[in-house]
Structure 1
Amino acid sequence: MTQIIDGRSAATAPELELLRGLEDGSLGEIEVAWSDAFGHAAGKRIPARGFLERARSSGFAFCEAALGWNTDGTVIDSLRLTNWDSGYPDVLAVPDLATFRPLPWRPGVGHVVSDVVRHDRQPSPLDPRGVLKRVLARLLALGYTAKVGVELEFYLLNPDGSPFQEDIHAYSLENANALDPILTDLHETLGAFTRLEGIQTEYGPGQVETNLIYTDALEAADDSARLKYAAKEVARRHGKIASFMPKPFSEHSGSSAHLHISLWRDGQPAFGSDDGNENDVALHAIAGLLEHLPSITLFGAHSVNAYRRFVPDSFAPATVTWSRDNRSAAVRSLIESTPEGNRIELRTGGSDANPYWLTASALAAVVAGLEAARRPPLAEGGNLYGSGTPLPESLGVAVALATRNDTIADILGAASVHDFAAIASSEWIEYNGHVSDWERQRYLTRS
């Protein structure tokens, strides 16, 4: 996004780097990227010659069906916003030049994140980044901006999906060494491509956690999308796979996408507190998250597999609860020694979540909480796995809850919610129609 200085627009540092590369010929190609509903990296490879003119005028056309398909690329015709009746027209990817990054694994190539618009130049309601920008505008109308820090976990696996490391000690430098050279390559690549804070081993064989630096909510979502794209490519180049499947092994830890959220007003932290407790703004935000958490779970857990994580004693939440610095709660309040560090952590997201939808839905619940100005129940302590309302038990339940919440639909966009839920529902329908090996082994000769 271009900065405004003294009433005139001024290019950001990434945009200036892009312009220099185009001018001096060091850039020969630009990846124009966008995200589909489930967060898959999509885009086009565009020659550098002529890129800038099209980026600033028409944008780059692609079929709108690419925003309306599910995990295996099946187009869902029950969508309101695009379908066979509409003919699946073109939409336009308009690069946000301020998101430019050199592509670390292909010298001479740049990467830009795009907004998706229709021919009338209005944002496509199917664009996940556009949904997040809509929520941020609603938040700004209340006088707040949001900063977000993201923790993303994933597994590094052999090409057949099996672990290539057996040890499961989290934070282990010895395990980290055993994952080299791929882990060092990940660190260097992600450090050049995102605002990487660090990488560590997690509580599964070959599982790692990546932490992104706390920043503007839209930039945090952009970084998360780039992280997933880059991690998969680094792993591929090492003959491995980076899997963001939330629960790839029943006997091992699941993988999450945690959000650390704070609000700011006029450049000052809005969660500030002088007495070591949450202030009214933080309490209203927590109340909104708790009230709407069952309904927004879908947007951070869109796959059948994501609901395997929500089990007791797993370090993943299982109930709608909040507490202070307590990893058995779904919402974790963190009060630091300085107001700038005060934040709320939402722990329900699965690692396969689309970062734009995950962030947008969390902030939509925060907006709802601020507008309702209610207070949450008192924070609980201890083991909270037996407290509170259970999180949705399945993708089918989550879809039903998401489509019944008019408050959240109004903030996210009712048609956008409908279509996201319809795409997710197709996963549930496909799953329910499949007879598994477990069912045959259990019932074939016992029925």
Structure 2
Amino acid sequence: MSGDLAARAAADGVTFLLAVFVDLAGKPCAKLVPVEAADEFESDGVGFAGYAVGAIGQQPSDPDLVAMPDVATYTPLPQVREGLALVHCDPHVDGVPWPYAPRVILKAALERAGDLELHAGAEVEYFLVTRDAEGRLSPADARDTAAQPCYDARGLTRMYDHLTEVSTAMNRLGWGNYANDHEDGNGQFEQNFTFADALTTADRVVTARYLISVLAERRGMTATFMPKPFTDRTGSGMHLHLSLWRDGTALFPGDGGLSPLARAFLAGVLDHACGLQAVIAPTVNSYKRSGATSTRSGATWSPRRATYGGNDRTHLVRVPDANRIELRGADGSANPYLALAATLAAGLDGVARDLDPDAVDGGELAPTLLHAVDALVADPVVSGALDAAGPGVCAYVADRARTEFLDWHGTVGEWEIDRYLTAF
């Protein structure tokens, strides 16, 4: 109903609305809408030059991308700025949901699932870093130098102000933040919140990244969700905890373990793991994380084969209990909307084919982004998930990924200088 945004804003003392959506690469895009224009925003949306947005499938000659607000996502963010609220939007073009918009893609994938509902939890891992005058990265906490810093109480306490500010914000939003910890890499942290329906969780991941980044900047730090910012340290994942529900009933628990439905869903994820990697690990840097052989701590915590197991973090899919499965291949660069859409499609294909995870050999995961893109294009189920709202999206994503890989491949780096400068 028109006027809902204005009424909510007035009740909360909100003076500006941040109209947010992300492009296919996960870049958060926004316009600030004064509350005086809330009714117009709610009814007509707010326009963007789509090509200027980035990876959203438009050319300079295309009509405006119009961000239409999902009023249910209205989120006051006084921790960022007093009087600010965020609203997630669905981009439209000429009055129709834009098929290259990640949130639109996930909504279409969820509709395809019929009466099956995907619930998801997401582990948001990130590093807090600073850069020196030469651009070199280091942990923002100069004392964070231990070889095995994971769960260290002292390192956690030194970042107390940042972590508790983020935690408090999450809880005020009703997300149910239940743990905040120092992760395995120096300068690496994780802040967990309870699971929800897939669309809500994807929205929360986008909001969390924005919130964490802004609050870190205030303290002179950079929060990075880059999968592997340091060669010798553990990378950042975005582990996804997944379950299917119907009419409020969880469908994964079975007699003494996972139900047949859950096992078939798991098998589908394994069967499509290679193509799925291009979506859940979508950058050149992703494969520095998944291809790592060692770190200072002694473990990479990143799977290299499409395997599954019980409460065992070395597998692509961990099964901590009968209520959920944990997909550990997604990393900090993954677009949460696309990751959930593609994983849902893979799992549901396993259900449709009644696959047995013990009979599926997903093989080695892709060693590079280029290999992963080739697997994506060859996989009609995962590529079809990207095209859920309209054709052409997968081809567009694949072309951009290949270009990214070749741009990186064509850049001379320090490794080559060190190895070849005087070798011949």
**What do residues 194-213 of structure 1 show as CA deviations (whole Å, max 9, x unaligned)?**
71332111111111012121
Give 1:311-350 correspondences, 5 Å limit: 311-312=292-293, 313-336=299-322, 342-350=323-331
Task: Tell whether 2:59 aligns with 1:83.
Answer: yes
Partner of 1:370: 351
SS of the counterpart of 1:37? coil
Partner of 2:145: 166
Distance 1:425 1:44 in 2: 30
SS of the counterpart of 1:38? coil
**What do residues 347-367 of structure 1 show as CA deviations (whole Å, max 9, x unaligned)?**
001112111111111111112
Distance 1:208 1:254 in 2: 11
Task: Tell whether 2:85 aligns with 1:110.
Answer: yes
Give 1:435-446 correspondences, 5 Å limit: 435-446=412-423
Q: 2:289 aligns with which of 298, 301, 309?
A: 309
Question: How far off its partner does 1:154 sit?
Answer: 0.5
Distance 2:342 2:288 in 1: 21
User: What is the identity, as a one-letter code, of the residue corresponding to 2:409?
Assistant: N
Distance 2:359 2:309 in 1: 9
Identity, % of aligned pairs?
31
Distance 1:67 1:370 in 2: 37
Give 1:120-135 correspondences, 5 Å limit: 121-135=95-109
> Measured at CA, do residues 55 and 20 of structure 1 come closer, stay the same or move farther in structure 2, by a change above 3 Å?
closer
Partner of 1:223: 204
User: What is the identity, as a one-letter code, of the residue corresponding to 1:367?
Assistant: L
Distance 1:156 1:98 in 2: 31
Distance 1:394 1:253 in 2: 18
User: What is the identity, as a one-letter code, of the residue corresponding to 1:138?
Assistant: R
SS of the counterpart of 2:350? helix
Q: Which runs of 5+ in 1 are unaligned?
A: 1-8, 70-78, 337-341, 380-386
> Measured at CA, do residues 316 and 136 of structure 1 come closer, stay the same or move farther in structure 2, by a change above 3 Å?
same
**What do residues 30-57 of structure 1 show as CA deviations (whole Å, max 9, x unaligned)?**
100000111121110011112223322x
Task: Tell whether 2:117 aligns with 1:145.
Answer: yes
Partner of 2:296: none
User: What is the identity, as a one-letter code, of the residue corresponding to 2:138?
Assistant: S
Checking the alignment, whether the CA contact within 8 Å between 2:106 and 2:341 is kept in structure 1 is yes
SS of the counterpart of 1:359? helix
SS of the counterpart of 2:253? coil
Distance 1:434 1:307 in 2: 17
Question: How far off its partner does 1:125 sit?
Answer: 1.1
Task: Tell whether 2:195 aligns with 1:214.
Answer: yes
Checking the alignment, whether the CA contact within 8 Å between 2:126 and 2:224 is kept in structure 1 is yes
Distance 1:66 1:134 in 2: 25
SS of the counterpart of 1:88? coil
Distance 1:367 1:415 in 2: 22
SS of the counterpart of 1:377? helix
Question: How far off its partner does 1:174 sit?
Answer: 2.2
Coordinate RMSD, CA, aligned: 2.1
Q: Which runs of 5+ in 2 are unaligned?
A: 294-298
Question: How far off its partner does 1:22 sit?
Answer: 3.6
Q: 2:371 aligns with which of 393, 397, 400?
A: 397
> Measured at CA, do residues 304 and 194 of structure 1 come closer, stay the same or move farther in structure 2, by a change above 3 Å?
farther
Question: How far off its partner does 1:91 sit?
Answer: 1.2
> Measured at CA, do residues 308 and 156 of structure 1 come closer, stay the same or move farther in structure 2, by a change above 3 Å?
same
Distance 2:372 2:229 in 1: 20
Checking the alignment, whether the CA contact within 8 Å between 2:338 and 2:386 is kept in structure 1 is no
**What do residues 113-172 of structure 1 show as CA deviations (whole Å, max 9, x unaligned)?**
0011111x2211110111111111111x2x310110110111111243211222343223
Partner of 2:335: 354
SS of the counterpart of 2:97? coil
Distance 1:194 1:126 in 2: 30
Partner of 2:227: 246
Checking the alignment, whether the CA contact within 8 Å between 2:6 and 2:38 is kept in structure 1 is no
TM-score w.r.t. length of structure 2? 0.90
Q: 1:412 aligns with which of 366, 376, 386?
A: 386
**What do residues 308-359 of structure 1 show as CA deviations (whole Å, max 9, x unaligned)?**
11235411111110111111100112324xxxxx101100011121111111
Task: Tell whether 2:178 aligns with 1:203.
Answer: no
**What do residues 371-425 of structure 1 show as CA deviations (whole Å, max 9, x unaligned)?**
222222169xxxxxxx962110001111111111112222331412111222222
> Measured at CA, do residues 365 and 128 of structure 1 come closer, stay the same or move farther in structure 2, by a change above 3 Å?
same
> Measured at CA, do residues 434 and 46 of structure 1 come closer, stay the same or move farther in structure 2, by a change above 3 Å?
same
